[in-house]
Structure 1
Amino acid sequence: MSLLSLRSMKTDIGQYAVLHDVSIEVPEGGVFVLLGRNGAGKTTTLRSIMGLWQPSPGSVHFRGQDITGMHTADIARLGIAFVPEDMGIFGSLTVEENLVLATASGSFDQDRLQRIYTLFPALEKFWTKQAWSLSGGQKQMLSVARSIIEPRDLILIDEPTKGLAPSIVDAMAEAFQDISATTTILLVEQNFQFAKRLGRDMAVIDDGRIAHAGTMADFVADKALQDRLLSLSA
């Protein structure tokens, strides 16, 4: 059984049909990458999974349970976290306060906190700093840290490398590799070099429909397919 299944999912935003017929099977473990050109429907797919937008018709199943139509908070309680493209952090709060708000109890498991410090040392250094004062890369680290401060089965991450320096991108790739050893990641990413470094399985969405799905290794080996679906030549 797949960890996450999207079945014939259609999502309208206002009068616009964004997703037309999206079906994806995300296996448990590792990184599943959703690729596609700008405006193809990648972010809408993640937001539909989280209940921020409601697919109709179609369905979303998590560990075999139909979660279509559930409130976002209830979906999160099942063990799904969402790291949005805008990072979703609170600029006026400190790093510590941002992480406290991401917990259910208002307190930290110290082992998990130490793991975050290991993955993102800057967060320990700037623990008492307000989030607005962090660099773009540090804000992204905080956003990801919020998603793993408590145990999760699945993390949805939207465009985490956008606007980041190459050194930060490398650090983020290493962190994601570590996280994916225990938590499945569904990653939306435009940086193909980053995506192919991490992805085990993948799909390409085009004009609101799944145009291709398979292993990342097979997709990387097929330059013609990359160019046709993503206008890539490398």
Structure 2
Amino acid sequence: MSLLSIQNMDVSIGQYSVLHGVTFDVPEGGVFVLLGRNGAGKTTTLRAIMGLWQPSPGSVSFRGEQIAGMHTSDIAKKGIAFVPENMGIFGGLTVAENMVLATANGKFDQTRLKRVYELFPALEQFWDKQAWSLSGGQKQMLAVARAIIEPRDLILIDEPTKGLAPSIIAAMGEAFREISAQTTILLVEQNFAFAKSLGRDMAVIDDGRVVHTGTMADFVADTELQNRLLSLSMEAG
């Protein structure tokens, strides 16, 4: 059984139909990458999984349980976290306060907090600093740290490397590898060098429809398919 199964999911926002019969399965473990051109529907897909947009019709099941139609907070309680493109952190609060808000009862599990420090040492260094004062990379680290401070089965992450320096991207990649050994990641990413270094399985969305699913290794090996589906060569990097 797939960890997450999406079947025939349509999403309309106002008068606009954005997703059309989106279907793919995310197996448990590792990183599943969702690829596509800008505006293809990738972010909408993540938001629909998280209940921020309601699919109609369509099915979204998590560990065999239907979650489409649930409130976002109830979906989160099932063990799913969402790191949006805008990171969703509170600039006027300290790093510590941001982290406390992500806990279930306002208290840290010290083992998990230690793991956060190991993955993102800068957060321990800036623990008492207001989040607005962090660099872009540090803010992204904080956003991901908030997603893993409680046990999760699945983390949805939208464009985590956007605007980051290469050294920060490399550090983020190492952190994602460690996280994905215990927690499945569904990743939306435009940086293909980053995506292909992490992804085990993948899907391509075009104009609100899934047009390809398969392994990342097979997709990387087929430059003709890359060009046909994404209109660019992804050999670089």
Q: TM-score, normalised by structure 2?
A: 0.98
- Within 2, Cα distance between the matches of 1:163 and 1:34? 19
Task: List per-residue Cα deviations over 1:1-25 (Å, max 9, x = no partner).
Answer: 0000000000001110000110010
What's 1:159 paired with? 159
Cα distance, 1:105 vs structure 2: 0.8
- Match of residue 11 from structure 2: 11
Q: Secondary structure at the match of 2:2?
A: coil
1:57-96 equivalences under 5 Å are: 57-96=57-96
- Which amino acid in 1 is paired with 2:81? A
What is the SS of the residue equivalent to 2:105?
A: coil
Alignment of 1:203-222 (within 5 A): 203-222=203-222
Matches within 5 A, 1:185-200: 185-200=185-200
Following the alignment from structure 1 to structure 2, what is the Cα–Cα distance between the partners of residues 229 and 192? 14
**Partner residue, 1:133:** 133
Give the distance between the partners of 2:175 and 2:230, measured in 1 at CA: 26
Offset at 1:208?
0.3
Aligned counterpart, 1:31:
31
The Cα of 1:230 is off from its aligned counterpart by 1.4
SS in 2 for 1:85: coil
How many angstroms does 1:228 deviate by? Answer: 1.1
Provide the rounded CA distance (Å) in 2 between the counterparts of 1:231 and 1:155. Answer: 28
Amino acid at match of 2:133: S
5+ residue gaps, structure 2, are none
Identity of aligned residues (%): 79
Cα distance in 1 for residues equivalent to 2:213 and 2:165: 30
CA root-mean-square deviation? 0.4
Once the two structures are TM-superposed, the CA of residue 158 in structure 1 deviates from its matched residue by: 0.2
Q: Which amino acid aligns with 1:16?
A: Y
Question: 1:232 deviation in Å?
Answer: 2.6
Q: Report the 3-state secondary structure (helix = DSSP H, G, I; strand = E; otherwise coil) of the residue aligned with 2:52.
A: coil
Q: After superposition, where does 1:39-58 map in structure 2 within 5 Å?
A: 39-58=39-58
Instruction: Name the aligned partner's letter for residue 83 of structure 1.
Output: V
Following superposition, the deviation at residue 229 of structure 1 comes to: 1.1
Where 2:25 maps in the other structure, the secondary structure is: strand
- Aligned residue in 1 for 2:122: 122
Q: Which residue is 2:183 aligned to?
A: 183
What code does the residue aligned with 1:95 have? V
1:101 to 2:101 alignment: yes
Number of residue-to-residue matches in the alignment: 234
Distance 1:33 1:123 in 2: 26
Taking structure 1 as the reference length, the TM-score comes to 0.99
Tell me the SS of whatever aligns to 2:144.
Answer: helix
Moved over 6 A (4+): none
The whole-number CA distance in structure 2 between the counterparts of 1:17 and 1:159 is 23
Q: What runs of 5+ residues in structure 1 fail to find an aligned partner?
A: none
> What whole-Å deviation, never above 9, does each CA across 1:11-44 have from its counterpart, x for those lacking one?
0011100001100100000000000000000000
Once the 2 structures are TM-superposed, how far is the Cα of residue 180 of structure 1 from its aligned partner? 0.1
Partner of 1:171 in structure 2? 171
**Of 167-176 and 223-232, the range deviating more from structure 2:** 223-232
Give, in angstroms, the shift of residue 59 of structure 1: 1.1
Q: Which whole-Å CA distance do the structure 1 matches of 2:199 and 2:127 have between them? A: 31
